[in-house]
Structure 1
Amino acid sequence: MIIAVCILLVVAGGALALWADRARRVQQEADAATGGVGARAIPIMLANGCAGCHTITGVPGAVGHVGPRLDASLSDRIYVGGVLANNPENMIRWIRSARDVNPHTAMPSTGITEQQARDIAAYLYALR
């Protein structure tokens, strides 16, 4: 019985290590694709009110219902803001100046820096 529990713990530990390694690789790929650092995104999103309108996986208190959910399905979506092809440069553009793209959107033009938008995009694209 003790051997079975030990084996189970070793297998579970290995699975956890594989999951953590995959998450790290996905974040590195998203960082490279966007020129951002996803690890810096949560404070930026909290400071700029993103959590008030969006439900965002991993962001404390981000349970808004005004904008779309920002979760694992984001990287599979075809459009950003319903009008731009979903790619890193368009995501960064939308995050910074959504109303320049679509004046009738509920999404405000945040006015954040390009680097901050890149960091947010990196975080969002890593959600899988």
Structure 2
Amino acid sequence: MRTSLSKLLAAVTAALVLLVAGVAALTWWSDRAARVRHEAEVATGGHVGRAISVMTANGCSGCHTISGVPGAQGQVGPRLDASLAGRVFIGGRLANNPENLIRWIRSAREVDPHTAMPSTRITEQQARDIAAYLYALK
């Protein structure tokens, strides 16, 4: 009987330790995601929460696979995922920084007339929102 009780207490203790560790990990991950999002918004002047509707309305998902965007499984342009923030160049020509990404999103053909990426002519704020979203994916 005593052995059974000891085993039960050990199992309950182990479960509690795992629960506390899981909550701590979830809290850390949530805090990290919030920090990354905030940094992306500050760097771009955009708002992550508005980006998906802008990308959907402007057909970005027709050419790109974009993490977190419903139906964005395009095969024409590069994947827009966590790797974007670590890339050296945007469109093979521009240094990867917020202002260049915003410029590329709005007027890619002015940068490179031969690119398959269209000049979207979306507003600067919409491009900032998209840039914030993309940089927040890291």
Q: TM-score range by the shorter chain?
A: over 0.9
> Which residue of the partner structure matches residue 79 of structure 2?
69
1:39 corresponds to which of 38, 45, 49? 49
Bigger Cα Rg: 2
> TM-score w.r.t. structure 1 length?
0.97
Query: Any stretches of 5+ residues in structure 2 without a counterpart?
Result: 1-10
1:121 corresponds to which of 108, 119, 131? 131
Post-superposition shift, 1:9? 1.2
> Which residue of the partner structure matches residue 26 of structure 1?
36
> Which residue of the partner structure matches residue 3 of structure 2?
none
Name the aligned partner's letter for residue 50 of structure 2: R
In 2, the alpha carbon distance for the partners of 1:51 and 1:11 equals 38
In 1, the alpha carbon distance for the partners of 2:32 and 2:129 equals 19
2:101 corresponds to which of 87, 91, 104? 91
Percent identity (aligned) = 70
> Which residue of the partner structure matches residue 14 of structure 1?
24
> Which residue of the partner structure matches residue 82 of structure 1?
92
Q: Matched residue of 2:131: which SS?
A: helix
In 2, the alpha carbon distance for the partners of 1:42 and 1:79 equals 23
2:118 corresponds to which of 83, 108, 112? 108
- Aligned residue pairs: how many? 128
Query: Any stretches of 5+ residues in structure 1 without a counterpart?
Result: none
Q: Matched residue of 2:83: which SS?
A: helix
In 2, the alpha carbon distance for the partners of 1:41 and 1:7 equals 39
Q: Matched residue of 1:72: which SS?
A: coil
Moved over 2 A (4+): none
RMSD of aligned residue pairs (Cα, Å): 0.8
> TM-score w.r.t. structure 2 length?
0.90
